[in-house]
Amino acid sequence: MRAVYDREWAGLDVVPRVLSDAETAFASATAEPDGTVLVAGTGSIAGRIRDRRMTTTTGGYGWLLGDEGSAFWLGRQAVRAPSTR
């Protein structure tokens, strides 16, 4: 795979970086270099972005360790709630 990527990136004046989905979400939403991002879907994570890099995060540990507020967490809470019937 490395050879495939090297061939495809040859001649471009950029250095590819691996980013988290939260950093990608922030970059796709604004041109600002600083701010906060919240990703709340199947999982959940909140982060602070400074100079286009994630500096602080809360959550994002996956369903086994937390992800409070995620779709998984909400569904699990609903199933665990006592029945009102």
Is residue 3 included in any domain, yes or no?
A: no
Is residue 23 included in any domain, yes or no?
A: yes
pLDDT at 84 > cutoff 80: no
The CATH number linked to 55 is 3.30.420.40
Is residue 61 included in any domain, yes or no?
A: yes
Is residue 11 included in any domain, yes or no?
A: no
Q: Provide the domain count of the chain.
A: 1
pLDDT in tens, 26-74: 999 999 999 999 988 777 889 999 999 999 998 887 777 777 777 788 8
User: pTM to 2 decimals?
Assistant: 0.64
Is residue 25 included in any domain, yes or no?
A: yes
Is residue 41 included in any domain, yes or no?
A: yes
77-85, long-range: CB within 8 Å, 24+ apart, which pairs?
none
The residue ranking higher by pLDDT, 9 or 68, is 9
Is residue 53 included in any domain, yes or no?
A: yes
Structural domain for 64, as ranges = 18-80
Query: Closest by alpha carbon to 42, among 58, 22, 62?
Result: 62
User: Residue 44 CB: number of other CB atoms within 10 A?
Assistant: 23
